[in-house]
Amino acid sequence: MIGFPLQQMLVASFPTMGAYTNWFVAVPLAISFGAASWFLSKHPGKASDVGNRGNDQAVVGVQR
């Protein structure tokens, strides 16, 4: 989801950049932005998930 917009941004910013150079610049940027996105929004240890773990009451057949 992040790679295509980054490649388009690079093409718009540096129109003389070749395809291979674009790829070698865009891939590390996409990985970096993807990792930052994961840590900021989907990280399993984020504060909003505290208290929701182990809540398996919706599972049929589980009795406590």
Nearest to 64 by CA among 50, 43, 56, 36: 56
Domain map of the chain by residue range? 3-42
Residue 59 has pLDDT above 80, yes or no: no
Task: Look at 48 and 30; give whichever has higher pLDDT.
Answer: 30
Please say if the pLDDT value at position 52 is more than 80: no
- pTM beyond 0.85: the answer is no
Query: Tens digits of per-residue pLDDT, 1-47?
Result: 778 888 899 999 999 999 999 999 999 999 999 888 888 887 666 55
pLDDT score, position 3: 82
